Amino acid sequence: MSLLFASLCFGLFCAGIVSGYSPKNYALHFQSQGVSDYANIWGMRSLTQFTVCLWMKSSATNYGTPFSYAVTGEDNELLLYNYKDFRVFINGGNRKVGISANDGKWHHICVSWKSSTGALKAYKDGVLKHNSINFQRGDTIKKGGSLVLGQEQDGLQSGFTSSQSFQGTMTNVNVWSWVLSSFSIKLQSKSLFCMLGTGNVYRWDDFKVGVKGKTAVVIPSPCRRPLLIG
């Protein structure tokens, strides 16, 4: 068996089975379209600015959702939706960012936002693809909700639809309470093994405990930066 797939577990994190790897050196593989496979954690702090970064690989053609944060009264509090043509939602408002990432290759995706100006930025493989202002200006990301990787929520950890499920592999998802610099994002995108960056709100290690269904935990992570990324 390839060293890239030294261990494959379903629905749990098998830290006791594989040793010798960094706690963040794993990936989540969502094999099929459905509503039972995802990762879920709770307790987000309130945010007036943020950066979300992740690595993903998919060749699916549905409206796949890598990142969905919902609170009581607003299921699209913070949402990265549709890897064919990414759209960012904040507190129900949404904006297309001109990024697709379902070509079967590994891609580094980052989105940042600042409430005071409504500045929204989106990066693909370290390159700024979207830069606008006055998007949900003055809003606040509310605390205490449900964060789901791999499904789009229409309720708190609920209301999943198979056509919106993420199909593919995801790793190193991190959330910061500030807007990362373009230099920092570019540096992360250059990481050969896709492991740079540690969020202060959520870090990749945090998602281990929330793996559900038949989501496969792959140890070590198979993510490798494509050489074609500039």
pLDDT (tens digit per residue) in 36-94:
999 999 999 999 999 999 999 999 999 999 999 999 999 999 999 999 999 999 999 99
The reported pLDDT for the residue numbered 17 is 43
- pLDDT above 70 as % of the chain: 90
- Asked if 60 and 170 count as a contact pair (C-beta separation under 8 A), the reply is no
Asked whether the predicted pLDDT for residue 16 surpasses 80, the reply is no
The reported pLDDT for the residue numbered 99 is 98
22: pLDDT confidence band, cut at 50, 70 and 90?
confident
Average pLDDT, the chain: 92
Give me the CATH topology for the region 25-219. Answer: Jelly Rolls (2.60.120)
Parse the chain into domains and list their residue ranges.
Answer: 25-219
Asked whether the predicted pLDDT for residue 229 surpasses 50, the reply is no
Residue in 62, 125, 121 with CA at minimum distance from that of residue 90? 121
Asked whether the predicted pLDDT for residue 7 surpasses 80, the reply is no
Residue 53 C-alpha from the chain's centroid = 6
The reported pLDDT for the residue numbered 112 is 98
Burial 37-66 (b: 16+ CB within 10 A, else e): bbbbbeebeebebbbbbbbbbbebebbbbb
| 14 or 193, higher pLDDT | 193
